[in-house]
Every structure is written in C-alpha cells, then in structure tokens.
Structure 1
Amino acid sequence: MARGELMKKLLASYGRDDEFRAVAEQIILEEEQKNNRVLARSLRQTLDHASSSASQRKTLAPLIPFPDAANDFVERIAPEHTKSDIVLSKTNVRIFTGLMQEFRRADDIRRHGLPVRSKLLFCGPPGCGKTLCTEIFAGELGLPLFVVKIDRLISSYLGETAGNVRKIFEFARKQPCVLFLDEFDALARSRDDTSEHNELRRVVNSLLIFIDRIKPKGFLIAATNLDQALDPAVWRRFDEVIWFEKPDREMIDRFLTMKFKNVKISFDLHPHARELEGYSYAEIERICVQAIKTAVIERRKDVGEQDFRHAMADEIRRRSGTSRLQQSAQEH
C-alpha cells in the first residue's frame, strides 16, 4: 500500500487500539522490506512502549468535533511537560495520585454506588503551578486538554455568555477530556459585588446550574488567583479544592536542582533556597533562566554564583516595580 494511504489509515484509526497497531505494523514491515532495519527497530520499540503505557491507563474515545460556534473560545493544547517538570507539596502529590487512581477505577467505584471526583478547583497565587499542573495531569491520564479562553467566552453581547458556557459544558459531558477554565473568578465573581452588571450575575446563576448538573467523562478544572472574589455558592459545586501555595525552602531546593540538572554550575545552589523563600515558581524560574543565559552569552561552560546573584537582583527590581504598580492601582 502507498505510504500516503497508510498514513491516512493510521490517523483514521486513532482511538481504536487494535486497528491502530495493525496499521503501524504494516508501516514497520514496509521499512523492514526496504532494508531500513534501524528505523524499523526504533519504530517497533516505540510502538511496544506506547502499547505498554496504554495498558496502564483508560483507553480514550475518539475525539468528538467541537461545536463550530464555540471554536473561538476553546483551544486544544498538546501537553509538553511531564511530572518530572513540576514540584508539588506532599499533600498535593497525595491528592493527585488519588484522583488518578479514582479515574482509572471509575467503573468499579460507580458499581459500588460511590461518586468519582471529577470537578476540581485550583486556588493560589499566580506563578505557583496551577496551569502547568493541569497540563501534566491531562498528559498523565492520556486525556486531551481543552483550554477555555475566558476573555472570549464572556461575549461582548452579554446575553450570549450563558449560551457559550452551556456549549462547552455539553462538550465536556460527551468527550473524555480535561476542560480547563483559567481565571475562573472572571466568570464566577460574587453576585454580592455591587460593581458587577446584572447580566453577569445571571451568568453566575447559569454557571452554578451547569456545574451542578455536569458529570464529566474526564475532568472539569477551574483555576483562580482571586479565590476571595468567587461567589460563595461556587465552592460546594466542586468535588475537590486544591491549594497551590508559594514553595517552602525544601520545595525551592528541589526546584533549583531540577532547573540546573542539565547545566554545569560552579557554586552550591542549596544556600540560595533560603533567600528565595516567598518567591513563586515563575519568579524562581526567571532567575534560573537569566543566570543560564548570561553564561551562554559570555560563552562560558558553567554558570557562576555571580550570574545567579545578578539574576536575583533583576527579579528583586522587577518585584519592586510590580508592587508599586499594584499599590497605585489599589489607591485609585
């Protein structure tokens, strides 16, 4: 069979494991017949590894086309990070491990008349891993990740917003996936807030009903940096609330080690963990990246302590400016 036809057949068999493997075997056989032994062996090892991984997780249903009318405010994201790219607290590791186990044994749990946790609320300051964790969580479960663009979802024609929300919730009900609503406070703001438009309050009413009724085949995850702004009735609609705090010294130490694992350094990182307490992961990552870039620019093989300290000084300057802006905004 022509290579192009085989590739089309391979893509068309997505989600049907037996058929997918059969087509992949045909491609490998062709490479063997062409005497491309190295490529054929590599393809077979990849296929065997993928099959082994797939047997450890729930088989996905084929992707359902997203409603055309909703394409403007939902985007599918391909996970690029793995669990080795994140540092979580022991509590959160335990929670996520439990959630994954529940998902994989969902049928057994439901047969016992018990609910499966599938609606999660992530809370915590910016830069502390909420979005990254969502991506890794979806990747670990083998679920497609759909990110809702809240700014577009809240239509300029406010009367359409509740309808837009209904469309994405209906999709999540049918499609096994992780549906991620970042900046959730923009959609679920307290109805007691007198500055909010009456139409937005009606959107919150609709949202509460949708969250109550939905039973996702995967997970609904909402994230907010402003948990105090959420409507009080939102909290009990979620099966689990997970807090992402700024890292403590031990977590910072692990994060620094992770960031420099493939980089040669000429100083001891560990004492700097104490100096970085109170910083978010995003801020610490900026320091690490800037220190490494300095060494690259100067064509040095290792990162020195001065590189790291200069990068820290830049972050302190940035933080100071951000604090002044925030204070000015609050005063006005």
Structure 2
Amino acid sequence: MKKLLASYGRDEEFHAVAEQIITEEEKKNNRVLARSLRKSLSNGPSRRSRPKALAPLLPFPEAAADFIERIEPVHGKQDIILSFENIRIFLGLMKEFDRADEIRRHGLPVRSKLLFCGPPGCGKTLCAEIFAAELGLPLYVVKLDQLISSYLGETAANVRKIFEFARTQPCVLFFDEFDALARTRDESGEHHELRRVVNSLLIFIDRMRPKGFLIAATNLDQTLDSAIWRRFDEVVWFDKPDSRMIQRFVAMKFKNLSIDFDPKAHLSDLEGYAYAELDRICLQATKSSIIAKRKRVSEGDFVDAIADERRRRRRTSRMNEPV
C-alpha cells in the first residue's frame, strides 16, 4: 500500500503496483475483491503522458544514410502489455537516462545497450518504438538487407558507419533480427567474412558509449555468439503472454467495440499465442462482424477467428519441421 501511494501520479508505476496487489488478492482466493479492484483500475481515467520534446537532430551523415531509416512512432504506452518484471526494468532505464549526468559524475556507467530476446510476435519491435517515444529520442532502424554486403570486407565497414552515427546522435538505434549479424563463430560452415563481421561488431559495441540507446532484438538467441551477451548492459526477455496479460490485451483490442460475449470464457483457447497472433484473431473477428453488417462482434466471430489461427499455426509448424 505504501508503494501504491508513493507511486501516485506516475502512471506506469501506479498501475504495476496496483496489479501486484490484485494478483496477491487472487492468490489468497479473494476473487470478489480482486475483481472489484481490477474493474476500478480499468475504469479509472486514462491520463496519457505528454510526449517529451525530441532530442535535437544532427545533420544526417551521408555515410550511414543507406543503412538506417528514421521511423516516426505511431504507438504509445497504452498500446503495449508488459510483464511486471519488464515494466520495472524499463522504468529503471528511463530514470537512469533522466539522471545520466549525475550518475556519470559519480564515476558510474549508465545502462544504454539493451538486448531484447524472445519468440516472434511478443512485442520486441513495438517496445523499442514506444521506449524511444517515451524518452523523446528519434528511432533509427538498421536496414540489414542494405547493411550486409555481398562484397568481402564491406559489411564490417558498413557497421562502423552506423556506430559512428549513433555515437554522435542522441537516438535509439534498433537492430532487428540481430542474429543475422551476430551469429556464433563456432559454426563450421560459416564464412570467414561473417567471423570478421562478428569480431568487428564485438569491438564496436564494447567501445560504444551512446548518447541514447542501442537496442538489438532477436528471436534466435541460441544462435548468438557467446561473446555478444556480456557486451550488453541489460537483457530483456519477451515471453509469450500469460492468462492475465492475454485478458488485458483482448480487452484493449475490443475497448472501442461492442461485443456480445465474455472473452474470459475463451482464455484457455488463447494460451500459448503470441501478441501478433492474438491481434490477428481480434482483427479477424472484428472484420467478420463488419462483413456481416452487424454492430456487435459475436462469439461465433471470435471462435471462428481462433479456429483460423489454430489452423494457420498447425500448417506452418509442419512446414518448419526438419526434413
């Protein structure tokens, strides 16, 4: 309760502490109280924080122009569901960033190099976008198809240009599918050029002291070179959502729609799905109601959308089976 009162006025912290209290009541089997508290929390006024002013942009260097792309954020913190653990991590990172100068004056490092790991569709890219927006920093995404050159020696040189840019520009530099660059050097089939790239990458990350953040994301953390891990100040895991997070996500997707069923009755059917799959289910159910010219999304629409996603998963899993 003390933590709840102390966090009043700071939306993310307040919501995280309130959710912890509700979860504790559920564990004590005080389900009526927990349900009432959750309803009060969800019906409370939503106060969207004002976006911070963006950091001043330096002239865009021609050397890096072919390899990075500026992305304008279109999502806010109300569009993502994170675990309590990840909420705590990101709040800590934001506080560190706000007081970075003070921390450095004490001779201490500021966490600025992050590795996002987890299955596809669990919010890594979306989180990078929202994180940049909340910090008021421009988001630059590395274009791996341009970066990885077919000419020997050029890929490492291209990587150097990107890191030089991030060293001078306060920004969030985002490497998606990072495993394409940082694959383990132990694989016997790998070309010497890839090993050279990984060696260069290790040096660049080690020496880099970004004015913003370097974020790398991967779905295949088991393929990363073992030396990569210690180069990052923080590793954030994005797991598939649990039942509580699924419930919140589905409620968010149907927030502005009329539905004639209780999504909680279908939670067991949604377990094990990533956010991208849940999003597809909700969108398909909504489109079905529109096509049928109904004002409410029916339970049949939702059940059919779940069946379609189950069919898709079953067929794609067969395609990924080893021959």
Say yes or no: TM over 0.5: yes
Q: Alignment partner of 2:116: what SS?
A: strand
State the shift of 1:200 in Å: 0.7
CA-to-partner distance for each residue in 1:248-276, whole Å, 9 max, x for gaps? 00000000000000110000011212211
CA-to-partner distance for each residue in 1:82-129, whole Å, 9 max, x for gaps? 000000000000000000010011111111111100000000000000
| 1:188-227 alignment runs, 5 A limit | 188-227=182-221
Question: Percent identity between the aligned chains?
Answer: 72
Contact 2:121 2:277 in 1 (8 A): yes
* Residues 141, 307 of structure 1: alpha-carbon distance in 2 compared, 3 angstrom cutoff: same
Match among 83, 89, 98 for residue 95 of structure 1: 89
Which amino acid letter does the alignment assign opposite residue 257 of structure 1? A
Partner of 2:303: 309
Contact 1:188 1:207 in 2 (8 A): yes
Q: Which has the higher helix share?
A: 1
Q: Alignment partner of 1:158: what SS?
A: coil
Partner of 2:162: 168
- How many residues are matched? 275
Partner of 2:23: none
State the Cα RMSD in Å: 1.3
Which amino acid letter does the alignment assign opposite residue 98 of structure 2? R
Please list every run of 5 or more consecutive structure 2 residues that lacks an aligned counterpart in the other structure. Answer: 1-48
Paired with 2:187 and 2:111, the residues of 1 have a C-alpha distance of: 30
Partner of 1:236: 230
Which amino acid letter does the alignment assign opposite residue 299 of structure 1? K
Q: Computing the radius of gyration over CA atoms, which structure comes out larger, 1 or 2?
A: 1
2:312 matched to 1:318?
yes
Q: Alignment partner of 2:111: what SS?
A: coil
State the shift of 1:245 in Å: 0.3
Q: Alignment partner of 1:232: what SS?
A: coil
Paired with 1:232 and 1:213, the residues of 2 have a C-alpha distance of: 18
Runs of 4+ with >4 A deviation: none
CA-to-partner distance for each residue in 1:256-302, whole Å, 9 max, x for gaps? 00000011000001121221111000001000000000111111100
| 1:51-200 alignment runs, 5 A limit | 53=50, 60-200=54-194
Paired with 1:90 and 1:112, the residues of 2 have a C-alpha distance of: 30
Which amino acid letter does the alignment assign opposite residue 258 of structure 1? M
Q: TM-score if structure 1 supplies the norm length?
A: 0.81
Q: TM-score if structure 2 supplies the norm length?
A: 0.83
Q: Alignment partner of 1:222: what SS?
A: strand
Partner of 1:261: 255
Which amino acid letter does the alignment assign opposite residue 172 of structure 2? V
State the shift of 1:61 in Å: 4.3
Contact 2:54 2:138 in 1 (8 A): no
Q: Alignment partner of 2:255: what SS?
A: coil
Which amino acid letter does the alignment assign opposite residue 183 of structure 2? R
* Residues 158, 66 of structure 1: alpha-carbon distance in 2 compared, 3 angstrom cutoff: farther
Which amino acid letter does the alignment assign opposite residue 139 of structure 1? A
Contact 1:60 1:176 in 2 (8 A): no
Partner of 2:17: none
State the shift of 1:157 in Å: 1.1
Contact 2:260 2:298 in 1 (8 A): yes
Partner of 2:13: none
State the shift of 1:67 in Å: 2.3
State the shift of 1:66 in Å: 2.7
CA-to-partner distance for each residue in 1:158-190, whole Å, 9 max, x for gaps? 311011100110110100000000000000000
CA-to-partner distance for each residue in 1:3-59, whole Å, 9 max, x for gaps? xxxxxxxxxxxxxxxxxxxxxxxxxxxxxxxxxxxxxxxxxxxxxxxxx947xx5x6
Contact 2:174 2:215 in 1 (8 A): yes
- Larger mean CA deviation between 105-114 and 177-186 belongs to 105-114
2:246 matched to 1:252?
yes
